[in-house]
Amino acid sequence: MKIPHLLSIGLFLFASSALFSQTNEATIETNKLSDNVYMLVGSGGNIGVSAGEDGVFIIDDQFAQLTPKIVTAIKAISDKPFQFLVNTHYHGDHTGGNENMAQQGVKIIAHENVRKRLMDGESSKDALPIITFNDRVNVHMNGEDVNVYHVEHAHTDGDAILYFTQSNVLHTGDTYFRNRYPYIDLKSGGSLDGYIKAVKKGLTLINDDTKIIPGHGEISNKEEYQSFLTMLETLRTNVQSEIDKGKSEDEVAANNAITKQYDDLGYGDFFINSERVKRAIYQSLKQE
Ligand SMILES: [Zn+2]
């Protein structure tokens, strides 16, 4: 059995070096969304930046090895000092640059559970949020109020969504992926119904002209955000009706009809495929 074993090691090395070089070679693309708000796309969660007379305010920071490129991209927007950074949740593709960014002078803000989970993961002291909140917090900077809301048990148990009231920009963190299935991180306190509530909350904040920065995927709008909600509710209904018929998780996972409408649109072509989303929804509904 040596050959298959070597083959699998080879594939593993290939896959990890591909991931490494992807992050290493990532370039940071800057999109201007309003007079003072930008979306930065690199590798990992989408970054939001507000830059103006009061300094720089950042949302999420991707991976540690990308920090030099992220800093260069932000300095190309503004020469003002880095002031605050909000983590939308604790996952490493959103917080990996925390320690480096703290060394750039930011004060990190996040929900209490983000700090707890980063501490449990033995993050260094500099990587931890030093200002934490429970329900909500407001940041008053660069000529506008930025309202930061905790949404309960959605993608994780520490999610924040942020609304820039003058720029009319919403950053959803990973409570929204554009045209993709959700990642319901059940092990970190996420749930399907929390996800649905989070999107409903976001929809109450915005209007037809709002620009939405999703956790992953391209810049989005209210119409697409609304169809993401419809997708979540449709899959909830479909999986619940299988549960009501007494179907097992494996039977649900094997039933292609549940997700077909969205599989055909390519929603499963990313990190969370059709089988994974069906299993996560099944488990989430069974937990209730
Ligand atoms: Zn995440």
- Centre of ligand 1 from the C-alpha of residue 88, in Å: 8
pTM for the complete prediction? Answer: 0.91
- Centre of ligand 1 from the C-alpha of residue 264, in Å: 24
- Centre of ligand 1 from the C-alpha of residue 217, in Å: 13
Measured CA to CA, the distance from residue 117 to residue 90 in angstroms comes to 7
Give the CA distances from residue 77 to residues 31, 56, 146, in Å, rounded to whole numbers and listed in that order: 11, 9, 19
Q: How many Cβ atoms sit within 10 Å of the Cβ of residue 255?
A: 16
- Centre of ligand 1 from the C-alpha of residue 4, in Å: 33
Parallel, antiparallel or unpaired: strands 131-133 and 107-111: parallel
- pLDDT value of position 24: 65
**Domains detected in the chain:** 26-222 (3.60.15.10)
Q: Within 13 Å and on the Cβ side, how many CA atoms surround 99?
A: 13
User: Residue 243's closest CA among 190, 213, 279, 212?
Assistant: 279
User: Residue 25's closest CA among 69, 79, 90?
Assistant: 69
Is residue 101 helix, strand or coil? helix
Mean pLDDT by 10 residues, the chain (288 residues): 40 44 77 97 96 98 97 97 98 97 97 97 94 98 98 98 98 98 98 98 98 97 98 98 98 98 96 97 94
User: Beta strands of 167-222 (E only): which ranges?
Assistant: 169-171, 211-213
- pLDDT value of position 5: 42
User: Residue 252's closest CA among 231, 237, 265?
Assistant: 237
- Spell out which residues have Cβ within 5 A of ligand 1, the ion: 91, 174
Residue pLDDT, tens place only, 238-266:
999 999 999 999 999 999 999 999 999 99
- Centre of ligand 1 from the C-alpha of residue 276, in Å: 15
Residue pLDDT, tens place only, 7-31:
444 444 444 444 444 566 789 999 9
Measured CA to CA, the distance from residue 77 to residue 205 in angstroms comes to 27
